[in-house]
Amino acid sequence: MTPVGVRGVPVQQAYIDALTRHAESDDRVLALWLQGSFATGAADSYSDVDAHLLTTDENADAFRSGGEGWLAAVRPTVYRASMFGGQMLHAVTDEGMRVDLWMHAGETRDVSGAAVRALLDPDERIVLGEPGARDGDAAAALTRHLSEFWRIFAMLPVVVGRDERVKAFVGAGLLADALGEALLFGGGRSRDAGVKRLNEFLPDEWRVEIEDALHHAGSSPRALVETHLRLAAVMRRHGPHVAGARGTRYPAAFEATAIAYVREELDRIKLSGDADLWAPLADAR
């Protein structure tokens, strides 16, 4: 858990230093550590601070109820939101920096499989496991992203049939995000940064394919349909390979059902267009 050097992030590093001093002054804090890009060394000037602290079961409720004030004592905040039943506090400081503070209770905290940078742990309460301890989590995440892609794709007739162009445009972005999140499992490098970073973890040619598909995005029904179909073609081309390489079952039946449903519905509302519109999807296998 040797601290990783942080490059080009003076605002965040100053905050991390102040957070550490604040935790050291509070006897209720048993341990404090960072996860995410500040733990892996991949942080840049745009990175969030993903902080975790451990307190006793007896102090947990009081600590969580007073979390906003505790965090504001480190640096004034202009926005705060309690999430996940009070386990995490998301905040934006007066410098525009984003902070996630996770509050854990117990005598120790198992962080198996996670990259960790310890800031305060005098009694060795942060328990590290084997590096591969969360391989099952990765497989579950890939399965979720693959299925989520085809679920979003199947919504295409709903939004274009209602002429909900804004929602259809947003849907294209959600579809591209699910596609990228699934395909990054096929890259040669494990993700060691936050969800807002994708480029460095995707093979360049796959990233270009997604960008090319989004290049056709527009507000006309035909453009919206074309964008969704081009993104579906990218998934068809690479998704099964990624799933196979990771030992995860690709949702082939869901894919087939979603494509058949979309085509049938677009035919019914006369938005399926010419054969060229479907050519990228047909050629993807």
At 159-188, the pLDDT tens digits run: 999 999 999 999 999 999 999 888 887 655
* Statement to judge: residues 117 and 147 lie in one domain: no
* Statement to judge: residues 139 and 165 lie in one domain: yes
Contact 217, 264 (CB under 8 A): no
Q: What pLDDT is stored for residue 274 in this prediction?
A: 67
* Statement to judge: residues 249 and 159 lie in one domain: yes
DSSP assignments along the chain, one per residue = -PPPP--S-HHHHHHHHHHHHHHHT-TT--EEEEETHHHHT---TTPPEEEEEEE-HHHHHHHHHTHHHHHHTTS-EEEEEEETTTTEEEEEETTS-EEEEEEEESS-EE-TTS--EEEE-TT--EEP--TTTTHHHHHHHHHHHHHHHHHHHTTHHHHHHTT-HHHHHHHHHHHHHHHHHHHGGGSSS---S-TT--GGGS-HHHHHHHHHHHHT--SSHHHHHHHHHHHHHHHHHHHHHHHHHTT----HHHHHHHHHHHHHHHHHTT-S--HHHHHHHHTT-
Domain that holds residue 106: 10-127
| Structure-model confidence comparison of residues 102 and 8, the more confident one | 102
Q: What pLDDT is stored for residue 128 in this prediction?
A: 84
**Residue where a domain terminates, one of 127, 154, 187:** 127
- Report percent pLDDT > 70 for the chain: 87
Q: What pLDDT is stored for residue 80 in this prediction?
A: 94
Give a yes or no: residue 39 inside a domain: yes
Whole-prediction pTM value? 0.70
Q: pLDDT band at 6, cuts 50/70/90? A: very low
Ranking 127-141, 240-254, 257-271 by mean pLDDT, the lowest is 127-141
Q: What pLDDT is stored for residue 4 in this prediction?
A: 39
Pick the closest to residue 152 from 183, 138, 180, 173 (CA basis): 173
CATH number at residue 74: 3.30.460.10
Q: pLDDT band at 189, cuts 50/70/90? A: low
Give tens-digit pLDDT for 56-83. 999 999 888 999 999 999 999 999 999 9
